[in-house]
Structure 1
Amino acid sequence: MSTPKPPLHILIAAPRGFCAGVDRAILIVEKAIEKYGAPVFVRHEIVHNKFVVDALRAKGAVFVDELEEVPSDRPVVFSAHGVPKAVPADAAARGLDFLDATCPLVSKVHRQAERQVDAGRHILFIGHAGHPEVIGTFGQVPEGFMSLIETEAQAESFVAPEGRELAYLTQTTLSVDDTSTIVEILERRFPGIAAPKGEDICYATSNRQAAAKVIAARSGAVYVIGAPNSSNSLRLVEVAERLGTKAKLIQTADEIDFDWLEGVQTLGVTAGASAPEILLRGVVDRLAVHFAVTEEEVRTAQENIAFKLPRDLAVA
């Protein structure tokens, strides 16, 4: 006689997974392959997810680190995280056909950075050093016009350039709570600092963090499906842990740790903005092999945003 499976109630966050910027970036690569034929080159990972990158590679995408690796007769796509101005300038100088898959919400931050510099302000950019989005945003303005603020301590100790007004902008995939604390410090220390027009942290990041908080509050543990280099996915883990719920980032069902789930009766599951739904379903299916699973979707917001494709691909 077989032993009955232990019960496990799974709370699935909504919204979760792909955002409009990721959908658009993937579609740009797919449409470019349709239009130009394979191979189509992509500078850096189009989005931070190995499953997505491998799927596009199988269709004919070739991922490279630098433009020098792109043959002169093949098109190149820039990733959703954005690139410094020097990159498209270099591509144009080499005569390359290029397509920019930068998320429109990241591009909005780029344009704000240009406007603040044009207004004579020094920008404090709240973000994580080395992240492609930060590198791309710093590359929109002349060197020395922007300073990176990663922590509350840095916000407290920053010394403003003499005679320069200040502005702040933020990476789009940050923790909403962390960022608001840093902003409070900057606004207290520099009362005249110019704020961005509208929220820089993107709607998808905010919505996924809000949903993660709700499921974490009701769960004994939370799995976040996403890549270890995905900023928005890492922030979802932090959001759950701050509520006192243990949380872990996994990329696929193969990384499920059943010992870690010992004693857990309610499990929250969500996915970062670059993780496809198929990975979440794979996790639930694997759990169902070991547990008597019941599912409940917990929706905290509706998303119906879509971004247009570049004109060259709109009818491809």
Structure 2
Amino acid sequence: MTAPSPSDRRSLVVRLATPRGFCAGVDRAIQIVERALEKYGAPVFVRHEIVHNRHVVERLKALGAVFVKELDECPDDRPVVFSAHGVPRAVPEAARSRDMFFLDATCPLVSKVHVECERRHEEGRHIILIGHAGHPEVIGTMGQLPAGAISLVETVEDAEAFQRPGDQPLAYATQTTLSVDDTAEILSVLKARFPELPDPHKEDICYATTNRQEAVKRLGKGSDLVLVVGSANSSNSARLVEVALRAGARDARLVDDASAIDWRWFDTVQTVGVTAGASAPEKLITDLVDAIGARFDTTVIEDDGVREAVTFKLPRALVD
């Protein structure tokens, strides 16, 4: 669609969520790939997408990263990076058996969930994992323990149907990128059925997921349309669309970048909220806002929200 001339542009308020975009875990994972390429040269192999964003993956491919599905696609003599979502315990064990050099880019907050599950398992508890089947983070978490030690619960209905294995005591953990409100509903069912369920030492849903969902709740209350920049396979991005709609937005859409916008969505819109999932680069947000500004007389307002200052250390091999 051709952009209207300046005199024909109608007014539109653009509200930018704070915080938005990259979290500390994503930033660390991307840096690990970049620094590995700088230090060891190309190719550096990456098991699965380092983070769930097409633009990030394509940029790293251009620098020399090779993305594979499984470890057996990697040669023994090149570095391999494990994605931010975490991997089953068997993956690093297989890498060690082949004397491979690997770098673990698992988000430290995902690793915390792994440690918690291991600790509860050692206590003799059966783990209930709240998460989405098939998501790499869930596969990685379930792969920390022997088969059958963890049961996956995705919905309230699953929570109502879950049966305790024998008389085994229980514990629970959650995927880090879930809807806070959905998870609370599932937990209310589980705790009503199993009041003895102990809470993790610290909330499993990560700070970045929680902060971005709270920011989108504020956007949704006052926006006709909310655009979430993120890839379709990004769990935290998809949750932001759901949260925006629940918060009162008349419409909310997940867009990979500005080219994915259907300008008919704006026909009756006066205020549009813009945010991004935790794996989306800020440039994609800037480009999207610029694209809106080319078609409307925009007033851009940055919403007040949490200013994140969390950072995670890189592996020692990349710092020395």
Q: Which residue of 1 aligns with 2:144?
A: 140
* Identity value in percent: 59
Task: Name which of 33, 52, 62 aligns with 2:37.
Answer: 33
Task: Name which of 59, 66, 70 aligns with 2:70.
Answer: 66
- CA distance in structure 2 between the aligned counterparts of 1:11 and 1:288, rounded to whole angstroms: 13
- CA distance in structure 1 between the aligned counterparts of 2:295 and 2:39, rounded to whole angstroms: 45
> Bigger CA drift: 103-112 or 188-197?
188-197
Q: How far off its partner does 1:175 sit?
A: 0.2
Residue 269 (str. 1) matches residue 274 (str. 2)? yes
Residue 91 (str. 1) matches residue 95 (str. 2)? yes
- CA distance in structure 1 between the aligned counterparts of 2:277 and 2:304, rounded to whole angstroms: 15
Q: Which residue of 2 aligns with 1:9?
A: 13
Q: How far off its partner does 1:263 sit?
A: 1.0
Q: How far off its partner does 1:35 sit?
A: 1.1
- CA distance in structure 2 between the aligned counterparts of 1:177 and 1:184, rounded to whole angstroms: 11
Q: Which residue of 2 aligns with 1:113?
A: 117
Q: Which residue of 2 aligns with 1:197?
A: 201
| Matched residue SS, 1:260 | helix
Q: How far off its partner does 1:257 sit?
A: 1.0
Q: How far off its partner does 1:3 sit?
A: 3.8
Q: Which residue of 2 aligns with 1:248?
A: 253
Tell me the alpha carbon deviations over residues 236-266 of structure 1, each in whole angstroms, 9 at most, x when there is no partner: 0000111231100000100111101111010
Q: Which residue of 2 aligns with 1:183?
A: 187
| Matched residue SS, 1:180 | helix
Gaps of 5+ in 2: none
- CA distance in structure 1 between the aligned counterparts of 2:203 and 2:57, rounded to whole angstroms: 29
1:265 partner letter: Q
Tell me the alpha carbon deviations over residues 38-97 of structure 1, each in whole angstroms, 9 at most, x when there is no partner: 110000000000100011111111101111111111010000000000000011111110
Residue 301 (str. 1) matches residue 316 (str. 2)? no
| Matched residue SS, 1:211 | helix
Q: How far off its partner does 1:185 sit?
A: 0.9
Residue 166 (str. 1) matches residue 166 (str. 2)? no
- CA distance in structure 2 between the aligned counterparts of 1:197 and 1:26, rounded to whole angstroms: 28
- CA distance in structure 1 between the aligned counterparts of 2:255 and 2:126, rounded to whole angstroms: 39
| Matched residue SS, 2:110 | helix
Tell me the alpha carbon deviations over residues 107-129 of structure 1, each in whole angstroms, 9 at most, x when there is no partner: 00000010010000000000000
- CA distance in structure 2 between the aligned counterparts of 1:128 and 1:2, rounded to whole angstroms: 46
1:110 partner letter: H
Cα RMSD for the two superposed structures: 0.9
Task: Name which of 281, 284, 292 aligns with 2:289.
Answer: 284
| Runs of 4+ with deviation above 6 angstroms | none
Q: How far off its partner does 1:299 sit?
A: 2.3
2:280 partner letter: A
Tell me the alpha carbon deviations over residues 199-256 of structure 1, each in whole angstroms, 9 at most, x when there is no partner: 0000000000000000111100100000100000000000011123110000010011
- CA distance in structure 2 between the aligned counterparts of 1:44 and 1:154, rounded to whole angstroms: 28
Tell me the alpha carbon deviations over residues 250-303 of structure 1, each in whole angstroms, 9 at most, x when there is no partner: 001001111011110100000000000000001011111110111000122121
Q: Which residue of 1 aligns with 2:318?
A: 313
- CA distance in structure 2 between the aligned counterparts of 1:301 and 1:288, rounded to whole angstroms: 26
Contact in 1 for aligned 2:44/2:66 (Cα 8 Å) = yes
Equivalence map 1:146-157=2 (5 Å): 146-157=150-161
Give the number of equivalent residue pairs: 315
Contact in 1 for aligned 2:222/2:248 (Cα 8 Å) = no
- CA distance in structure 1 between the aligned counterparts of 2:240 and 2:192, rounded to whole angstroms: 28
- CA distance in structure 2 between the aligned counterparts of 1:61 and 1:78, rounded to whole angstroms: 12
TM score, norm. by length of structure 2: 0.97
Q: How far off its partner does 1:193 sit?
A: 1.1
Q: Which residue of 1 aligns with 2:135?
A: 131
Q: How far off its partner does 1:2 sit?
A: 6.3
Gaps of 5+ in 1: none
- CA distance in structure 2 between the aligned counterparts of 1:44 and 1:230, rounded to whole angstroms: 13
- CA distance in structure 2 between the aligned counterparts of 1:173 and 1:40, rounded to whole angstroms: 27
Tell me the alpha carbon deviations over residues 101-158 of structure 1, each in whole angstroms, 9 at most, x when there is no partner: 0000000000001001000000000000000000000000111111000000111111
- CA distance in structure 1 between the aligned counterparts of 2:232 and 2:8, rounded to whole angstroms: 35
